[in-house]
């Protein structure tokens, strides 16, 4: 294995993201790109300032930062697992990106490792976004003496957890290869990760409670996940760093050795519904949505979560349903061939209604049993209604993202930018409206109006893309 090829491929993947992802859809214009960059940086800065103000207000000078840091340390594993799951599910679709490297003189192992490096840089960016504000505010409030504590409580465990997760993933892939079911990894891996989240979540909660209790009773608490912080506190930063280096030195070669040598393409579709549905246009849209890989992953996540909530007696409204509504991001591009292969594709408004309607069918089909489970658990039906409103609004917004930032087939990264920008705007609007302390009915009317605006822009965007497509065909 040559390290140079790994680094070169890693650079190629990043170049691909910069050129192909940051220059499409709305981001094609320089002004839009600059505004998006500015908005992201401003949001991160605002997030930092907000976190600093809130922490100074509540924790500054109380001595409570110590146990808070310990609780964060206990939850690092869970957050890294969430980031890893998101990135892993996203990267499952990156076959086309990998194909870029098929005519280059690299081995499968080098390709896998370059991809792992690429993926870890994404996880790092996400972790910086999640823990950056907390780390910076802690150091600003308590002074530079806290830097070693923040390092050993948050960043060292994050690195080790990530390496362990990578090792676990490659071992799982090897097992699937040995069992000859690697083609199904698109389904098996997300299920395993969802199960992992379901197992880790109660443990993290339990650990946090124990840390808080020990602090209240003045006991010293230790758990394996707090190892780096404990070593730093008892002996010094140098020993923690040494342990991190030693464990990484053991884990990285293990990851390299576990990375599989052969590449198996993934199964993309699952056939569930009968084909007679295709007799009607709406039926075709429903089929396209139900058989897609993303739908399968999202539905399996929701099912795993509901079963887990049932077993753990979690009494929560079915917010997990929101997961399946993110399908809207792919709805437009997945059904694009349907509109391209006929001479008259129908009116834009009808096509938009079919797009949104098919997602509504999926939401109802999955929502009924999941809501039934929630109500049996003791959640009142009224508490489930806001979830329905949230899901419908999410379908409309994610369909708009799919139109404004069309995801490329086999290139999942195009979605990230759209989702990131939309989340920032939705959060700012939500926070801004919250300041007004409006009557719930007026708030509902405003949100309904905003959703109508989203529908309007979606139809406008679809019309524009159809016009461009017609001109292309004519030329």
Partner 1 sequence: MKWLLRFIAGLTVSFIATMIVVVASLITTMFSASEIGVRKFGLFGALFFEPHQQANGATALEIGISNGLPIAMIFVGLLVFYIAVASALERLKLHKERLLRTGQG
Binding site for partner 1 (CB under 8 A): 42, 46, 49-50, 53, 57-58, 425, 428-429, 431-433, 435-437, 453, 456-457, 460
Residue corresponding to tokens 């003045």:
218
- Nearest approach in angstroms of CB 162 to partner 1 is 32
CB atoms within 10 A of CB 77: 21
- Nearest approach in angstroms of CB 95 to partner 1 is 36
- Nearest approach in angstroms of CB 404 to partner 1 is 12
- Nearest approach in angstroms of CB 414 to partner 1 is 22
| Nearer residue to partner 1 within complex by CB, 154 or 454 | 454
Q: Could you give the 3-state DSSP secondary structure of residue 411? A: strand
| Nearer residue to partner 1 within complex by CB, 236 or 430 | 430
Q: What is the DSSP letter of 259?
A: S
| Nearer residue to partner 1 within complex by CB, 195 or 425 | 425
| Nearer residue to partner 1 within complex by CB, 338 or 433 | 433
CA distances 465 to 233, 336, 356, 462, 470, Å, are 60, 11, 17, 5, 9
| Nearer residue to partner 1 within complex by CB, 364 or 442 | 442
- Nearest approach in angstroms of CB 241 to partner 1 is 35
Residue corresponding to tokens 């780390």:
135
| Nearer residue to partner 1 within complex by CB, 199 or 431 | 431
| Nearer residue to partner 1 within complex by CB, 57 or 262 | 57
- Nearest approach in angstroms of CB 183 to partner 1 is 44
CB 316 within 8 A of CB 309: yes
Which residues pair with residue 408 across a beta bridge?
411
Tell me the C-alpha distance between 102 and 92, whole Å: 17
The residue length of the chain stands at 475
- Nearest approach in angstroms of CB 31 to partner 1 is 11
| Nearer residue to partner 1 within complex by CB, 242 or 444 | 444
Please report the DSSP string for 6-32 in residue order. Answer: HHHHHHHHHHHIIIIITTSGGGGSHHH
Tell me the C-alpha distance between 227 and 212, whole Å: 17
CB 323 within 8 A of CB 298: yes
Which residues, in sequence order, are CB contacts of 386 under 8 Å at separation 6+?
317
CA distances 337 to 226, 288, 332, Å, are 53, 11, 10
CA distances 41 to 45, 84, 167, Å, are 6, 23, 33
- Nearest approach in angstroms of CB 54 to partner 1 is 8
Residue corresponding to tokens 């429903």:
286
Q: Could you give the 3-state DSSP secondary structure of residue 292? A: strand
Tokens representing 121 are: 């840089």
| Nearer residue to partner 1 within complex by CB, 142 or 294 | 142
- Nearest approach in angstroms of CB 418 to partner 1 is 16
Cα Rg of the chain, angstroms: 24
| Nearer residue to partner 1 within complex by CB, 374 or 422 | 422
- Nearest approach in angstroms of CB 440 to partner 1 is 16
3-state percent breakdown (helix, strand, coil) of the chain, nearest 5: 80, 0, 15
């Amino acid at each position: 294995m040559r390290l140079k090829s790994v680094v070169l491929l890693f650079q190629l993947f990043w170049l691909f993201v910069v050129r192909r992802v940051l220059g499409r859809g709305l981001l094609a214009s320089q002004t839009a790109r600059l505004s998006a960059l500015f908005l992201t940086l401003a949001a991160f800065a605002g997030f930092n300032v907000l976190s600093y103000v809130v922490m100074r207000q509540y924790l500054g000078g109380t001595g409570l930062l110590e146990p808070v840091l310990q609780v964060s340390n206990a939850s690092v594993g869970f957050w890294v697992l969430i980031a890893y799951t998101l990135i892993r599910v996203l990267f499952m679709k990156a076959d086309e990106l990998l194909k870029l490297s098929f005519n280059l003189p690299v081995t499968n192992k080098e390709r896998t490792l370059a991809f792992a490096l690429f993926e870890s840089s994404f996880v790092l960016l996400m972790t910086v976004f999640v823990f950056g504000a907390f780390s910076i505010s802690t150091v600003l409030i308590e002074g530079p003496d806290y830097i070693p504590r923040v390092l050993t409580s948050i960043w060292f465990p994050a690195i080790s957890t990530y390496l362990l997760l990578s090792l676990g993933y490659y071992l799982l892939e090897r097992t699937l290869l040995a069992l000859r079911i690697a083609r199904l990894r698109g389904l098996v891996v997300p299920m395993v990760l969802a199960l992992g989240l379901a197992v880790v979540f109660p443990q993290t909660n339990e650990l946090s409670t124990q840390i808080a209790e020990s602090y209240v009773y003045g006991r010293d608490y230790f758990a394996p996940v707090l190892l780096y912080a404990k070593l730093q506190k008892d002996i010094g930063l140098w020993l923690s760093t040494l342990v991190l280096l030693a464990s990484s030195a053991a884990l990285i070669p293990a990851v390299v050795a576990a990375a599989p040598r052969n590449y198996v393409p993934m199964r993309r579709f699952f056939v569930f519904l009968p084909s007679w549905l295709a007799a009607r246009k709406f039926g075709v849209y429903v089929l396209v949505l139900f058989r897609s890989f993303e739908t399968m992953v999202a539905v399996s996540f929701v099912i795993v979560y509901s079963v887990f909530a049932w077993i753990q007696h979690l009494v929560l409204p079915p917010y997990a349903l929101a997961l399946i509504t993110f399908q809207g991001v792919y709805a437009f591009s997945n059904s694009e061939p349907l509109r391209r292969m006929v001479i008259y594709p129908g009116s834009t408004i009808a096509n938009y209604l079919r797009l949104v309607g098919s997602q509504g069918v999926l939401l109802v089909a999955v929502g009924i049993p999941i809501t039934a489970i929630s109500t049996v658990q003791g959640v009142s039906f009224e508490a489930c209604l806001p979830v329905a409103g949230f899901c419908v609004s999410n379908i409309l917004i994610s369909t708009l993202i799919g139109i404004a930032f069309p995801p490329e087939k086999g290139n999942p990264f195009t979605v990230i930018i759209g989702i990131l920008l939309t989340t920032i705007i939705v959060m700012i609007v939500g926070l801004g409206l919250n300041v007004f302390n409006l009557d719930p009915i007026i708030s509902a009317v405003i949100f309904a109006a905003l959703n109508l605006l989203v529908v309007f822009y979606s139809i406008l965007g679809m019309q524009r893309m159809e016009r461009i497509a017609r001109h292309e065909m004519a030329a």
